[in-house]
Amino acid sequence: MEVDSAYGSASSSAGGLPLVSLTAAHVAHLNKQLETMHPKDILRLAKILFPNLYQSTAFGLTGLATMDMLSKLEKETPGSSPVHIIFLDTLYHFDETYELVDRVKARYPHLQLHTFKPEGFETAADFEETYGKLYELSEEMYDWVAKVEPQQRAYDSLNVAAVLTGRRRSQGGQRDKMGVVEIDKERGIVKINPLVNWSFAQVQAYIRENDVPYNVLLDRGYKSIGDWHSTSPVGEGEDERAGRWKGRQKTECGIHNKQSRYAQFLEEAAAKEKESQDNSSTDQAEATPEADSTQGAHTSEVEVETKADAEVEAEVEVEVEVEVEDEPPALVESPSLVESISAQVLEQVHESRPLAKSEQPLDEASSSPAPAHEVSNTFVPLLSC
């Protein structure tokens, strides 16, 4: 009987077999059983069921409640495998968020935290030296560089098979129909949403009852907290995620939704690069027999040459040398796709963004840089469908 294989997670080192394999029917069964369970019981089962289980969090309220429950479970079963934390540091979190991270570390000293930043950058200033204010120039490219790529790097380097998230149905948007267990085929992992059924009020009550550290911005009208440049307080009666990308048709940053157009652009570029390399290899393979035949003919001519005259020998050598130059040149390794795409992207960024003061000519150093709004559509032609 054929089995509808819905998912195979990241491969293990043992024969290339997947760490986790679930059918669509199995996922549906799990969701039915987990739907009415307490989040702590869901976490207890997830720790048993899924190897290489991690929690991904930006230290929001739900993630903090999950973290506290996991801490209690580890005390119940000291020998069990701990769940490590993945934190995607975009370099643009609020100062209050970074301060919270330090308080959480102090409260849970056993916590194993893996921080991933945009590759090659440690500070926002460093990032903007290369990209400018990328979150204004192209939101999709910013999401890729600051969030999606670091997330995929985290999953790859840690060999993540399953991840705990802080998403809940009451957050609205694309989250209102989520199951407890989800399959992310694009990224190759299982996602578990242990507090999917809880409301904001329930999570907040848990935080208070268990004295869990939380972001002080929550006391100032914020509910869902991300980057400072795209987060604002929530008004009375608004959804808790209404403060994210306010006034824009956007509800997710890219790490939980389908691939962005920029990610698709990268994949298409990779496919074209591979096709180009395959075509070059094919052309070389087809030309090689002819080249070998020509070379063999020249070798025979040289071997049958019996004249000892130095001038004639020189003519033969020159003739052979010239003919050999007509052979197909050896393939030269082309720059990597990432280098190629980065060069294109950075060229556009530098053409569009205002020059840093240190980059301006001396006679223009006092001039003001161009307003950000004048270059805000730089990447639209590149990424438009």
Residues recognised as catalytic: 253
Pairing of strands 181-184, 84-88: unpaired
The domains located in the chain, with CATH, are 5-258 (3.40.50.620), 264-299+314-325 (no CATH)
pLDDT at 376: 40
Query: CA Rg, the chain, in Å?
Result: 29
- pTM higher than 0.75, yes or no? no
Q: What's the CA gap between 161 and 53, in Å, rounded? A: 6
pLDDT at 119: 96
Could you tell me which residue, 3 or 87, shows the higher pLDDT? 87
Q: What's the CA gap between 241 and 170, in Å, rounded? A: 10
pLDDT at 326: 43
The 10s digit of each residue's pLDDT in 67-95 is 999 999 999 998 889 999 999 999 999 99
pLDDT at 308 over 70: no
Helical H runs in the chain? 24-34, 39-49, 61-76, 95-107, 124-131, 134-137, 139-143, 149-158, 200-209, 261-304, 310-325, 337-352, 380-383
Q: What's the CA gap between 167 and 63, in Å, rounded? A: 9
The 10s digit of each residue's pLDDT in 254-283 is 554 555 455 555 666 667 777 778 777 777
3-state secondary structure 292-309: HHHHHHHHHHHHHCCCCC
CB atoms within 10 A of CB 105: 13
Could you tell me which residue, 249 or 52, shows the higher pLDDT? 52
How is residue 369 annotated by DSSP? P
The angle formed by the CA atoms of residues 287, 292 and 295, to the nearest 5 degrees, is: 125
Q: What's the CA gap between 194 and 361, in Å, rounded? A: 56
Q: Is the Cα dihedral 253, 274, 377, 145 positive or negative?
A: positive
pLDDT at 360 over 60: no
The 10s digit of each residue's pLDDT in 204-241 is 999 999 999 999 999 988 878 889 888 887 767 666 65
